[in-house]
Amino acid sequence: DSGVTQTPKHLITATGQRVTLRCSPRSGDLSVYWYQQSLDQGLQFLIHYYNGEERAKGNILERFSAQQFPDLHSELNLSSLELGDSALYFCASSSPSGLGTDTQYFGPGTRLTVL
Amino acid sequence: GQNIDQPTEMTATEGAIVQINCTYQTSGFNGLFWYQQHAGEAPTFLSYNVLDGLEEKGRFSSFLSRSKGYSYLLLKELQMKDSASYLCAPSPGSGNTGKLIFGQGTTLQVKP
């Protein structure tokens, strides 16, 4: 158990819908990263938040947005869902600086299925 | 651009030694991580290298050559539970972030 929690574990929804994925980092970690893993691609970096502020964006679609709240939990919002958005979404946390020398610890992931 | 290259699949025998290679090209470099991922599960941290050389941690060792953009993960005394994907992930270190760039991963199958 990494100490990072993600809810829900599984999510099944229809095209065009909107969902919210939630992540709670390890106690004391200030950084939250979101990654997407689909069958035909490796882990793709989406976005990084540090202590409530956006630090970096990867190949995140405009239909996707994220935020990190004052209690440091983070939410990833996916809207106008398409079949191709079906994937495993992982959250990872790290501390203290949020820079490249910090080890990231991954949550168990949310498996999103869009029908 | 950013590119990570690993073999797609490898097979080895229980009790043997296997080396998983990774070559990378990134716009910046702040260290390289190796993660293990069992199917459908979260990646788990194995090792981190930032300086050239070999880091040993039990049955697992990782090597880095920054000048060559090359790393390898060495697994000794293979066990069946080592059957998993192994992900090479350099941290470009560009800007104010520790984001990781992952390769496709190497799926290792350990046979009895």
pLDDT score for A106: 97
Interface test with B, best of A5, A45, A60, A88 (most B CBs within 10 A): A45
- A99/B96 touch (CB, cutoff 8 Å), yes or no: yes
- A2/B42 touch (CB, cutoff 8 Å), yes or no: yes
pLDDT of A98 strictly over 90: no
**Coil/strand/helix, residue A54:** strand
| B70-75 β-sheet, strand order | B3-5, B18-25, B70-75, B60-65, B53-57
pLDDT more than 70, % of chain A:
97
pLDDT score for B2: 78
Structure tokens at B51: 């300086």
pLDDT score for B1: 64
The DSSP call for residue B82 is G
Interface test with A, best of B41, B62, B96, B99 (most A CBs within 10 A): B99
Rounded distance between C-alpha atoms, residue B31 and residue A101, angstroms: 7
DSSP character string of B48-63: EE-SSEEEEETTEEEE
Mean pLDDT over residues B1-16, rounded? 93
Rounded distance between C-alpha atoms, residue A13 and residue A70, angstroms: 29
A10-13 and A110-114 beta bridge pairing? parallel
Which chain B residues are closer than 8 Å to A98 by Cβ?
96-98
CA distance A34 to chain B (A): 9
Q: Residues 72..91 of B with a Cβ closer than 8 Å to A: which?
A: 87, 89, 91
User: Is residue A25 within 8 Å of residue A4, measured between CB atoms?
Assistant: yes
Q: What is the pLDDT of chain A when averaged over all its residues?
A: 94
B105 touches chain A (CB under 8 A): yes
Which chain B residues are closer than 8 Å to A88 by Cβ?
40
Which chain B residues are closer than 8 Å to A57 by Cβ?
none
Q: Smallest Cα–Cα separation from B87: which of B55, B28, B39?
A: B39
Of A69 and B91, the structure prediction assigns the larger pLDDT to: A69
Question: pLDDT (tens digit, 9 = 90+) per residue, A30-65?
Answer: 999 999 999 878 899 999 999 999 999 998 999 999
Structure tokens at B87: 């992900």
A83: left (phi over 0), alpha (psi -120 to 50) or beta: alpha
Confidence of residue B18 (pLDDT cuts 50, 70, 90): very high
The DSSP call for residue A25 is P
Cis status, amide bond into A96, omega within 30 of 0: yes
Provide the sign of the torsion angle of the four alpha carbons A88, A31, B103, A61, taken in this order: positive
Residue that the structure tokens 């293979």 belong to: B78
Which chain A residues are closer than 8 Å to B45 by Cβ?
103-105
Of A82 and A97, the structure prediction assigns the larger pLDDT to: A82
Interface test with A, best of B38, B50, B97 (most A CBs within 10 A): B97
